[in-house]
Chains A and B, each alone.
Chain A
Amino acid sequence: MIRSHSKLATALMGGLAAGLLLTACGGSAEPSSTTAASSAASTAAEVATSAAAEPITLRFIWWGNDTRNALTQQVIDLYKTTHPNITIETETADFATYWQKLSTQVAGGDAPDIIQMDEKYLAEYASQGALLDLESIGLDTSDWAEGTVDAGRFDGTLYAATFGVNAPVFLANTSVFEKAGVEIPDDTTWTWESFAEMAKQIQAAGGGEYYGVENLIGVDGASKIWLRQQGAQQFTSDGIGFTAADIQPWFEYWKQLMDEGGTAPATATIENQTTAVDQAFLGTNRVAIGFQWSNQVNAVQNASGQDILILRPPTQTGNAADGHLWYKSSMYLSAGAKTKYPEAVKEFIEFLINDPDCGAILGTERGVPTNLKVREAVAPQLDAANTKVIEFMDSIADELGTGGSVPLPGGGQSETIQRRATDAVLLGDLDPATAAEQFVTELKAEMGLS
């Protein structure tokens, strides 16, 4: 009796255990590829200190991906050959964890010397006195493209050097268009209306295998295009440049397009918003068109393995001149306010931005080079994907809109706040009007505006 019991128990255990193991193996989980700081390289560099000049160690922190980390290490090694006394210690993280890492270091009085900065957080750090005035250390900006110097100012002071320039783009996955048997539309004449029709047509052809387009309701870069085309701005120098009534049609547009079968359903869209580029819809060939910043073209193309075309976002009027696009500083370089070696920091930033040899290695991965001479020098050496980006950037030069500003402190939270509202719209829990009201109210509260 007891024996048979324990046999049964053994069998039961076996079954349960196998079930657990199967669960563990199911699903194609990929290990999170934490970007490893290249400690090997920096130790090697520490050994080779020059006898001639004072040995200096600078800390350089950036966010990025594997491609960027490898390229950056290459240029650091290049710098080492001409500046043997300078050791660059590197730290990297992905975008989300980067800001927690940086804020903790700065708060702990352990700020890095060279800091990769984003416009979302520039005001935050500049207003707290955490960054160095780059003009006071004499940064050479003489060959920079128009507007790129001023893009790094906060309250008139140059706290950030534009490291690269990009623009908001729509990326078309040619393989999905082919499968759906739909022709890629002319991006100089398409409208939001024709865009929606196209999305529905593609999704219908996909039969569940792929969707029409990415749902951009909660993507703040995309909603910024819409706002500008309405004559509003996302941020101005004294707050926000739009009202709930300005953003409400954007919420309505995407909710309707989803309901009519032009984008993935609500929960799939919400999940996709927090998925890394290489695993998201666009990178896995599951939508025909998605939104990106132009310097991400390479990443998307590598992930999808397909030919990716760069398109202008649609307009209201069908005239590309009404696109109100803008060149954005894809990222900046800032200096920690308490750096011990401002002169060395200045020289290294100038090397990264103004040196053609450095530019040839970096390509357009961080955006199109800020320095026009570098841009000119590297253009012939670039591969097809990089050339495509530069050509697109040149082609929209006459269609740019004006205005806008880096957000005031707290504005960096805008997309998070927007998604709390738009997720609820997609799920049908909030109507677009209430959601728009909530978004604007919470954003103003976060930025300390009344």
Chain B
Amino acid sequence: MSALNELANLRQVSDKGKKQNKTAFIFLAPWLAGLVLITAAPLVASLVLSFTDYPLLKAPTFNGLDNYIKIFSDKRFRKSLKVTLTYVLVSTPLQLALALAIAVLLNRGMKGLAFYRSIFYLPSLMGSSVAIAMLWRQVFGSQGLVSTVLAKFGLADPAQSWIADPKTSLVTIILLHVWTFGSPMVIFLAGLRQIPMMYYEAAAVDGANKWTQFWNITMPLLTPVIFFNLVMQIIGAFQSFTQAFVVSNGTGGPVDSTLFYSLYVYQQGFVQFRMGYASALAWVLVVIVGAFTAVNFFFSKYWVFYDD
């Protein structure tokens, strides 16, 4: 959408002078080339491939809606959808709550703010990295940090592996995701800085305590930022891949308990050589994420408050 808007703007500019137009296009060329070659073309290609049988090593053959029909009877598709929805619906609110809490604590003009902000942002820089997911295997693995410490208090068997138990494996990945609350935190901090101090001063004069101030001033004025973070984090969570891939060694196991949607798409395409089916799965995800975002926008008018 934004690309179209920008193009429309350019067209208006062109009425004023063709020269300006040309210069703008030259400057935009690298970005446009990237959009067309790296984003738009593969997007179109995958849509086309989703209507084919494409065993990766052989040329694709058109098979109509077969892939989409097959999705409905695919048990592992339903499993991956369930895993992903659980992940999105549990981890996103937790992560945003933690990010907001830390942002509010940090927003008090304390000494060394930059230092703490960096420390809390650090996990987000590393969180989606392979190294941290490897670390997660050690922390929650058999004889790992968590099991060993719990065993000291007689709460668990030291041999217990939390990542290899289908009852807890997804929880460990949700924890990993919640831990990487840095980027919404930074956005919350910026949002908090935008709220004029005079509101708080006026409230304090009227005798409102910190808690009341938070619920009646901070929260309403922050809703646009919360909404933004919610939309972005939900979309991001739907696309999670690296953590599950590394923690389960690419299998989505044990017993498909961490079979994230994008991991399943990847398995179908690159491991089981069904690129056509994988493309269809990817487009179904586009529709699901689109639906979630649309619902989000629909309900936003009931709770997001723009202080214009």
A9–B106 Cα distance when bound, in Å, is: 8
The CA of A208 and the CA of B108, in the complex, are separated in Å by 50
Most buried by A among B106, B130, B254: B254
Cα distance A31–B255 when bound, in Å?
A: 27
Q: Which residue of B lies closest to A423 (CB)?
A: B254
Query: Is A268 an interface residue when CB atoms closer than 8 A count as contact?
Result: yes
Whether, in the assembled complex, A125 has its beta carbon less than 8 Å from a beta carbon of chain B, the answer is yes
In the complex, the answer to whether B159 meets A427 with C-beta atoms within 8 Å is: no
Chain B residues bordering chain A, tally (CB within 8 A): 53
The complex places the Cα of A96 from the Cα of B134 at a distance, in Å, of: 16
| Known A-B contacts A23-B139, A128-B55, A423-B253; A265 and B272 likewise in contact (beta carbons under 8 Å) | no
Judge whether A385 is part of the interface by a CB distance below 8 angstroms: no
- Complex CA distance for A9 and B119, rounded to whole angstroms: 15
Q: Which of A20, A125, A267, A270 contacts B57 (CB 8 A)?
A: A125
Given contacts A6-B110, A24-B135, A27-B135, whether A128 and B251 have CB atoms under 8 Å apart is no
Contact A32 B159, beta carbon cutoff 8 Å: no
Kindly name the residue among A5, A100, A267 whose own CB sees the greatest number of chain B CB atoms within 10 A: A267
Q: Are A100's CB and B57's CB within 8 A?
A: no
16 of the cross-chain contacts (CB-CB < 8 Å) are A10-B110, A17-B120, A31-B131, A96-B250, A100-B270, A106-B56, A124-B273, A128-B57, A129-B58, A264-B159, A265-B160, A267-B160, A267-B254, A271-B161, A420-B256, A427-B166
Chain A residues with Cβ below 8 Å from B173 are none
CA distance A265 to B164 in the complex (A): 11
Task: List the 5 shortest-distance A-B pairs measured between CB atoms, nearest first.
Answer: A27-B138, A274-B249, A128-B57, A270-B164, A271-B164
Contacts A6-B110, A26-B145, A27-B144 given; does A268 touch B161 at CB 8 Å: yes
Q: Which residues of B contact A (CB under 8 A)?
A: 55-58, 102, 105-106, 108-112, 116, 119-120, 122-123, 130-131, 134-135, 137-139, 141-145, 157-166, 179, 248-251, 253-256, 270-273, 275
Dominant SS at the B interface? loop
Task: Find chain B residues with CB under 8 A from A423 CB.
Answer: 166, 253-255
**Which among A13, A17, A100 is the interface contact of B271 at CB below 8 angstroms?**
A100
With the chains together, A104 CA to B57 CA distance in Å?
Answer: 9
Q: Which chain A residues lie closer than 8 Å to B166 at the CB level?
A: 423, 427, 429
| CB-contact partner of B157 in A20, A125, A265, under 8 A | A265
Give the B-binding residues of A (Cβ under 8 A).
5-6, 9-10, 12-13, 16-17, 20-21, 23-24, 26-32, 96, 99-100, 103-104, 106-107, 124-125, 128-130, 208, 264-272, 274, 410, 413, 416, 419-420, 423-424, 427, 429, 446
Chain A residue nearest in CB terms to B119: A17
Name which residue of chain B comes closest to A101, CB basis: B270
Using Cβ atoms and an 8 Å threshold, which residues of chain B touch A266? 164-165
Contact of B130 among A26, A32, A128, A269 (CB under 8 A): A32
Q: Once the chains bind, are B251 and A419 in contact (CB under 8 Å)? A: yes
- The answer to whether A26 touches B139, judged by C-beta atoms less than 8 angstroms apart, is yes
Given A99-B271, A125-B57, A427-B166: A267 in contact with B134 (beta carbons within 8 A): no
With A128-B55, A270-B161 already in contact, 14 other A-B pairs whose C-beta atoms are closer than 8 Å:
A6-B110, A10-B110, A12-B105, A13-B116, A100-B271, A103-B273, A208-B159, A265-B157, A265-B159, A266-B165, A274-B253, A416-B251, A423-B253, A429-B166
Is the CB–CB distance between B120 and A20 below 8 Å? Answer: yes
How far, in whole Å, are A330 and B215 apart by their CA atoms in the complex? 66
Instruction: List chain B residues, Cβ under 8 A from A264.
Output: 142, 159
Q: How far is the CA of A103 from the CA of B122 in the complex (A)?
A: 36
How close is A163's CB to chain B, nearest CB, in angstroms? 22
Hey, which chain B residues are within 8 Å of A267, CB to CB? 142, 159-162, 164-165, 254
Report A317 CB to chain B, min CB distance, Å.
34
Query: Counting chain B CB atoms within 10 Å of each CB, which of A28, A29, A424 scores highest?
Result: A29
B253 near A270: Cβ-Cβ < 8 Å: yes
Enumerate chain A residues within 8 angstroms of B112, measured Cβ to Cβ.
10
B58, B158, B159, B272: the one within 8 Å of A413 (CB)? B272
Q: Find out whether the CB atom of A271 lies under 8 angstroms from the CB atom of B141.
A: yes
**C-alpha gap A20/B135 in the complex (Å):** 13
A444 to chain B: closest CB distance in Å?
15
* Of the residues B119, B165, B273, contact of A427 by C-beta under 8 Å: B165
A6 and B160 contact, CB distance less than 8 A: no
Whole-angstrom CA separation of A5 from B163 in the bound complex: 40
Which of B58, B139, B255 is the most central at the interface, judged by chain A CB atoms within 10 Å of its CB? B255
Distance of A423 Cα from B167 Cα, bound (Å): 13
Which B residue sits closest to A265, measured CB to CB?
Answer: B159
Task: Give every chain A residue within 8 A of B165 (Cβ-Cβ).
Answer: 266-267, 270, 427
| Centre residue among A272, A413, A427, A446 by max chain B CB count within 10 A | A427
- B74: min CB distance to chain A, Å: 11
- Cβ distance B101 to chain A, nearest Cβ, rounded Å: 10
A448 → B minimal CB distance (Å): 11
Which residue of chain A lies nearest to B270 when distances are taken between CB atoms in the complex? A100
> In the complex, what residues of A have CB within 8 A of residue B162's CB?
267
Q: How far is the CA of A270 from the CA of B249 in the complex (A)?
A: 11
A24 neighbours in B (Cβ, 8 Å): 135
- Known pairs A32-B131, A107-B56; A268 contacts B253 (CB<8 A): no
Is A29's CB under 8 angstroms from B138's CB? yes
Across-interface contacts of A128 in B (CB, < 8 A): 55, 57-58
Distance to closest chain B CB from A411 (angstroms): 12
A103 and B57 contacting across the interface, CB-CB below 8 Å: yes
CB contacts (< 8 Å) of B102 on chain A: these are 16
Residues of B within 8 A of A427 (CB): 165-166, 254-255
In the complex, how many angstroms separate the beta carbon of B37 from the nearest chain A beta carbon?
15
Contact B105 A13 (CB under 8 A): yes
A29 touches B134 (CB 8 A): yes
A400 to B194, CA, bound (A): 78
> Which residues of chain A are within 8 angstroms of B163 by Cβ–Cβ distance?
271
Q: How far is the CA of A92 from the CA of B90 in the complex (A)?
A: 39
Which chain B residue shows the least CB distance to A125? B57
Q: Is the CB of A32 within 8 A of B254?
A: no
Chain A residues, Cβ within 8 Å of B131: 29, 31-32
A213 CA to B56 CA, complexed, in Å: 40
Q: Chain A residue with minimal CB distance to B247?
A: A274
Contacts of B249 in A (CB 8 A): 96, 274
Write the chain B residue with the least CB distance to A28. B138
CB A410 to nearest CB in B, in angstroms, measures 8
Q: Which residue of A lies closest to B151 (CB)?
A: A208
Closest to A5 in B: B108
